[in-house]
Chains A and B, each alone.
Chain A
Amino acid sequence: MRTVFSILQIIMLIVIAPLVSGLITKIKNNVRLRRGQSVFQPYYNLAKLFSKEEVISEHTSWIFSVTPYVVFASTVTALFLVPTFIAKNPQGCMGDLFLLVFILSLGRFFLALAGLDSGSAFGGMGSSREMFISSFAEPAAILVFFAVSLSAGSTNLGAVTTGGFRLSWLVAAVSLLLVVLAETSRIPVDNQETHLELTMVHEAMILEYSGRSLALIELASYVKQIVFFSLLGAIVWPCMAAASAGYAEIIAALAAYLLKIAGLVLVVALVEVSLAKMRLFRVVDFLYFSFVIALVAVIAAVFGV
């Protein structure tokens, strides 16, 4: 029963993942006084891509073909690990919060290799930048996990779900928000809306993909986004129902969860419209800043705040 529940939960999250991106785009457009595309546009795009023919570069190897599947699988596996609205069972699970970092880097590793595989300079540039940004984001993410897990005394999946609200968690959440902006290719780190040659990061890396491969990679990006949003939501407002609880409680937790995601959608959209994209090398300062905030969170957590 529990397994069925958790698989259902994951399918639901995969289904709503594109909607999150659609909402962000819609809000951004509305704030800019444009009507903007429908919030369901990401679904239309995916449907179109799935039905299209693929064009693959003749220089590529099998790495290029398996990458969409590896990326998608690793992101969905991350979804198993992230706290959402039903409290995770801390016992007998396959891993913990640290595993989240490792599993996401599996997908990123293959995506970066695929970027190099076509022999295009754009792909190489994208891979180089993606690895550059993520390697600086990783220490901050680990410190955030340290800070939120200290009070529970464990990094297991129960850790984030059991605690009440803490000041150190709020500080950690601020740090994680910066990491999330970097990891989900948002302004001020990257810009999803542009294909401008010299500023692309994520888009450059996947430039050679088309058809169903591109659809899988896009879907994986949406899922990755919801992974990070769920995590951030759980840290800001840890409010989850036990898996054994009644339906009323689970529905209440689901409503709270959706509310949290909606709040984050609003925050990210507003951040995106109100900031300009940074130069690539300023991103390092941005992530150092996030690291320092995470360190403050750890120190606060050590003092039990």
Chain B
Amino acid sequence: MLNLFNISISFLHDPLSLFFVFTILLISLPSVIYSLGYLKGEYSLKKRFYGLTLFTIFVISMCLVVTVDNALMFLICWELMSLVSYFLVIFDHENEKSIRAGTIYVVMMHIGTAFIAAAFLIMYKHAGSFDFAALKAACQSMPIATKNLLFVFFLLGFGTKAGIVPLHIWLPLAHPQAPSHISSLMSGVMIKTAIYGIIRFIIFVLGVSSLWWGNLVLILAAFSCLIGVIYALMEHDIKKLLAYHSVENIGIILLGVGACMVFLQCNLPYMAVFSLAAGLYHLINHAIFKSLLFLCAGSVYKVTGTRDMEKLGGLIKKMPWTAAAFLMGAMAISALPPLNGFVSEWLILQTFFLGMLKVSGGLKVFFALCAAALALTGGLAAACFVKAFGITFLAMPRSSKAKEAKEVVFSMKAGMVFLSALTLIFGLAAGVIFKVLAAIAQSIVAADAPAMNFSLNNFTLATVSDNPTYLSPLAVALVLVAVMAVTAILVFVVAGKARVKKYGTWDCGYYKLTGRNEYTSTAFSKPFRIAFSFFLRPYRKTEKIRESFYHVKAFKYETFTTPVFKKYIYAPILAITFGSARLMRRIQPGSIHLYIAYIFVTIVTLIIFMKIF
């Protein structure tokens, strides 16, 4: 303990904090290994040193955010984390896009922080201290109206950092602009500190005190899932696509957290522990596969110099390691068995199903709808990653840069392989991991109840009900491998050795297929663009480039979607802000006499004020 400005700093070491520290360090390790190869050749030695320093401060600040036990210190660390990540976003500050993204990022972060700070000040007024323990005690006797206000402030504040819809607009701008190992940390870990904030301050300190809190979180989460994945489908910038998937996955995590809040209010501690543990499971899973995917995207970017999928293709032959790692990440995020994403999505589906059995009335149907939203999200995410992997890595290269690609260096491969192995381990060892997570969740929501365990053994999950259901990813994996092996042997026995002839792809009698004939990312997502046109409002620009009146040399076709949130929410707010700023300018004409008059009037007013009151 040290005493600084009369604030005693001490650290939390309860299971929740330790879990977050573990997650942060687990992801930082491969990121830093990867960065050794990634930054080399790209930046000068000085810049690399600067980057590494920022990286270290960033990781330390994140660890501090999840461990301090004092609200004021929390705010300081939170601010430090935001500022350091801002400098990392504008790491390539020669690029105008980076500056723009950084500005939007830092503005959005400070709006969020303002809400969090306001909430802390209100709590301080009741508690007289910034310590979490004192705040928690004070919250017990707070009027419900204040609690509601605090809940909304925390949700807005942390929601901005987490990137829930409609506060997500900074996320797809800022994450792709940072160097890839930073993107992997930002998407994989940093936005999770906001989930920590929600669990710590709303569930733990404040205590859930209305049913609508949980319902609101669930609704926001479901919309984040769907809108995140729909926008991701429309992207052909590979890092932006991944960033939108972070919005989606934060939604999935919050489905678990929101369900936990509902169960707490319904007095179902067993279910609350189960759903929170499911949410935490998805949290660490997302940290693993999203940072993996960002690292792979970074490798592709480093080698080819582009993030535009329409210019890539065929990389699986040039970069087998990166392709295999990306495939693992894509399968995990698409919830395919037996990898980790599948386990946590199954758990969240079970949360809603079991919840339906326990809660009453309209909540039952609401839960079923949440599950349906999750199922739709899962389907769309799978489609999106078929696109991301298929267009980027398969078939023929679409540009000369992609044609000349080479596999990345060892340290980058090491980082990716490490995370790929984790996606498998966190899937197969589901039982033992969920046991630990259940203990963590229990320490937050039902510490005084007898120990709860939902794992049958180290590899099998079980659900809490009279008629339990089991899931063993290891058994699934074994059956899959066994059937594959038996099939391969049987086919060999029955049909003999394979006789294979290599030949060109069927080209309808056309002379020869090139990368230009392939299906593109934009084409792949066309059915989705039409199905969701009520929301995406797509429009297109076509242009004929003519040599002469009779000869059209080229045809340009671009398609766009209307940025609904920017246009209908943020643009009006900005317009109002600028409008009022222009009004304010009228009283600031730059004349020193007038300013002296202002000061004089202010002083006189203050003196009168002091005299009267």
Contact = CB atoms under 8 A, between A and B. Distances in A.
Interface string B506-520: 110000010101110
A39 B80 CA distance: 72
Contact of B334 (A94, A105, A143, A299): A105
A89 to B, nearest CB: 11
Contacts of B368: 143, 146, 295, 298
A59 B395 contact: yes
A150 B357 contact: yes
A62 B488 CA distance: 15
Contacts of B488: 69
Contacts of A214: none
A82 B317 CA distance: 38
B533 to A, nearest CB: 10
Given A69-B488, A119-B396, A102 B342 contact: yes
Interface stretch (B41-49, B263-271, B468-476): B468-476
B201 to A, nearest CB: 33
A132 interface: yes
Interface in A231-250: none
B271 to A, nearest CB: 14
Interface in A99-123: 99, 101-103, 105-106, 108-109, 112-113, 115-123
A95 B376 contact: no
Contact of B337 (A91, A103, A129, A153): A103
Residue with the highest number of chain A CB atoms closer than 10 Å, among B383, B391, B468, B491: B383
Nearest to B331: A109
Contact of A132 (B364, B376, B383, B469): B383
A220 to B, nearest CB: 10
Contacts of A122: 506
A119 B395 contact: yes
What does DSSP make chain B's interface, helix, strand, loop or mixed?
helix
Grouping DSSP codes into helix (H, G, I), strand (E, B) and loop, the A interface class, with mixed when no group exceeds half, is helix
Nearest to A280: B527
Given A109-B382, A142-B372, A119 B470 contact: no
B349 interface: yes
B394 A117 contact: yes
A83 interface: no
B372 A139 contact: yes
Interface of A: 50-51, 53-63, 69-70, 72-74, 76-77, 80, 90-96, 98-99, 101-103, 105-106, 108-109, 112-113, 115-125, 127-129, 131-132, 134-143, 146, 149-150, 152-156, 158-159, 207-208, 211-212, 216, 280-281, 284, 291, 295, 298-299, 302
Interface string B464-484: 011111111001100111011
Contact of B499 (A54, A92, A116, A136): A54
A296 B357 CA distance: 17
Interface in B392-439: 393-396
A158 to B, nearest CB: 7
Nearest to A138: B379
B165 interface: no
Contact of B527 (A62, A128, A142, A158): A128
Contacts of A99: 337, 346, 471, 476
A96 B357 contact: no
State which size class the interface on B falls in.
35 or more
A95 B317 CA distance: 36
A124 B470 CA distance: 37
B5 interface: no
B480 A128 contact: no
B504 A57 contact: yes
B390 A112 contact: yes
A127 B345 CA distance: 24
A150 to B, nearest CB: 7
Given A72-B487, A158-B467, A143 B372 contact: yes
B390 A138 contact: no
B365 interface: yes
A57 B356 CA distance: 50
Contacts of A149: 353
A197 B100 CA distance: 46
B471 A94 contact: yes
A155 B519 contact: no
A153 B465 contact: yes
A34 B141 CA distance: 81
Given A95-B470, A208-B505, A102 B376 contact: no
B612 to A, nearest CB: 64
B2 to A, nearest CB: 50
B528 A132 contact: yes
Given A80-B479, A94-B471, A119-B513, A143 B499 contact: no
B468 A156 contact: yes
A91 B467 contact: no
Nearest to B484: A73
B124 interface: no
Given A61-B394, A70-B484, A112-B390, A93 B519 contact: no
Contact of B505 (A76, A94, A119): A119
Nearest to A61: B316
Contacts of B391: 116
Interface string B326-349: 010001001111000010011001
B537 to A, nearest CB: 16
Given A73-B487, A109-B385, 9 more contacts: A55-B503, A105-B336, A119-B395, A119-B505, A124-B390, A124-B519, A127-B519, A154-B467, A299-B365
B523 interface: yes
